[in-house]
Structure 1
């Protein structure tokens, strides 16, 4: 599937989906942290410093609008925290999820019956007509007046707070790590006074990832094996001028790969989140494994198998080594599932 430029731009800005180094997952400090919170002992008011803007919550929001931004991080975080009933309009969805029932739950959420703009998102007048008390956007793009969106100042005048997700302040997800997913959970936990639940989710994720890491370390002890080189890309998606323009080079995917005992085969091709590669460059690179990410593609496995046939010289093709994933590879509450699935693909003998 080829997506048009507005959607490609919206996708490239937020997604991980998205980034290189392993960040600390226990202290809640996202790399390049976007928010700081102050909470009174009674729970409210809560004040977030989000992209340099103070957002004060006197009570838990009850009319939440989740903008598209080609993400499911925000809506999935709210659902994981049991806050689906607070959403009056949601524009996010990937069509599938590693979490059983999540895709169906997202599909059932109200959309607000909005006529979307060219970027497949909520224009200013429609947004204000929803009477939100909180609007979530993946990046500052969702509050850009030039693109026809309600600005953060206009929302404040209408009585709504606004929130830009971690690493979205400068619309650059190339530095994003799993710690940013935890930051999003913590922030929403504070805003909705469900911090205990947020911390339990974070602790469970950390424990799961630690168990995978321990298994890998035990299996690799004394072997000195080189980390498998992995190609991570979106299924049937075009975002640039070359044959392979939806290949992730940096972002949260790299953190997930590192925790799963792998490395990004194309991280050296660009400093940007996405690499825009020729077929010749891809063919000349030794790819040990594929991670194919589905963005509303019902059959990403078929795309993976097509790639392996196209490049039979890859070790990945000789060994038929690939995995298909969706929302767990992005910013969101389920990165631990991606770590486990990728680790089992790369190191099957360890499990």
Structure 2
């Protein structure tokens, strides 16, 4: 993974696209159901969560960041990404406060709904607007505040393009998008017609934390040639009863690796759960593990798709 991440950062693909036009400020960007105007490129940016922080770093924006938040408190960072974060301060291990942003003189906050912000919470675009702190919302997370179609890889591309425009690094953004698209195209050229039934397991014992059609795992499973067994649920990250999993009988289970409980422990829990013994994926021990950063909108979506495709089709 570190080789791939460095590959993206250095932009070594020879087939990267033409130069984009430089940003003209003031610039107005669509963010969920809002429009946000930037009079200049931010210089004291704060990103929340590892996936959004990774996007900022890959775009070469470290020098325009005061730090990041919401990473160490969830144990969601891989060793490779930890190395990339060296020297960049974490301003809050879980959720930053309004005071955190003010004390750091933040002039741009990149976060999402259920990724650092909660509807009706203290830290939202509405609470930060009077403080002149513009917020750009993670596109996939917009499902929490507006009606949207199913999640797709275009959500990740949209965020990269918008960040490229906001910070006037459009060439780098298009380069990263082109690299992702090339690798995903290679995966999809090799997919068989059969689409195995897939259940994504994030966490939870009494009920399962998983993803409906509005969460990024929907797009990953689709791109890898599978079918999310919860693709009829109009929800992003959500909880379901185990009975629903049994009824839909997934052939493969994708486990999200992060937090205090390891992926191996999650798999053992599923294998030993009395209610799941009839599920095909449990009987045949078909599991795929992806990291949190790959399960959420990020550059690591490529690695996640490659891993899921290999697990679904034994490639």
TM-score for both structures, normalised by structure 2: 0.79
**Residue of structure 2 equivalent to 1:325:** 290
Report what 1:184 is aligned to.
159
Indicate the residue corresponding to 1:7 in structure 2: none
The 2-side partners of 1:341 and 1:145 are apart by 33
Residue 12 of structure 2 corresponds to which residue in structure 1? none
Q: Distance in 2 between matches of 1:121 and 1:306?
A: 29
Q: Which has the higher contact order (CA 8 A, sep 6+)?
A: 1
- CA–CA distance in structure 1, aligned partners of residues 216 and 113 of structure 2: 15
Contact 1:174/1:272, CA 8 A, preserved across alignment: no
Q: Do the aligned residues in 2 keep the contact of 1:182 with 1:333 (CA within 8 Å)?
A: no
CA contact (8 A) 1:266 1:275 kept: no
Kept in 2, the 8 Å contact 1:244–1:279? The answer is yes
Q: Identify if the C-alpha distance between structure 1 residues 143 and 264 changes in structure 2 by more than 3 Å, giving closer, same or farther.
A: closer
For the residue of structure 2 that corresponds to 1:101, the secondary structure is helix
CA contact (8 A) 2:200 2:256 kept: yes
Q: Secondary structure at the match of 1:75?
A: helix
Shift of 1:294: 2.5
List runs of 5+ in structure 1 lacking aligned partners: 1-38
Is the counterpart of residue 303 in structure 1 residue 266 in structure 2?
yes
Q: Is the 8 A contact 1:208 1:336 kept in 2?
A: yes
- Which residue is equivalent to 2:135? 162
SS in 2 for 1:280: helix
Partner Cα separation in structure 1 for residue 248 and residue 23 of structure 2? 56
| 8 A contact 1:97–1:328 mirrored in 2 | no
The more displaced of 137-146 and 191-200 is: 137-146
In structure 2, what is the Cα distance between the partners aligned to 1:166 and 1:276? 21
Residue 104 of structure 1: how far off its partner (Å): 3.7
TM-score (ref. length: structure 1): 0.72
Alignment partner, residue 15 of structure 2: none
Aligned residues: 287
- Distance in 2, matches of 1:286 and 1:41, equals 51
Whole-Å separation in 1 of the counterparts to 2:310 and 2:81: 23
Is 2:75 aligned against 1:95?
A: yes
Q: Quick check: 1:228–1:263 contact (8 Å CA) kept in 2? A: yes
Distance 1:289 1:146, change over 3 A: closer
Is 1:66 aligned to residue 47 of structure 2?
yes
Partner of 2:121: 147
CA contact (8 A) 1:174 1:252 kept: no
> In structure 2, what is the Cα distance between the partners aligned to 1:341 and 1:40?
35
Shift of residue 305, structure 1, vs aligned partner: 3.0
- CA-based RMSD of the aligned residues comes to 3.0
Match of 1:136 among 110, 116, 124: 110
Q: Which residue of 2 aligns with 1:20?
A: none
Distance 1:105 1:147 in 2: 31
C-alpha spacing 1:44/1:137, structure 2 compared with 1 (3 Å): same
Alpha-carbon distance change, 85 to 79 in structure 1, aligned in 2, over 3 angstroms: same
- Mark the CA change 1:130 to 1:262 in structure 2 (over 3 Å): closer, same or farther: same
Answering whether residue 233 of structure 2 is matched by residue 254 of structure 1, we say: no
How far apart are the structure 2 equivalents of 1:144 and 1:288? Answer: 34
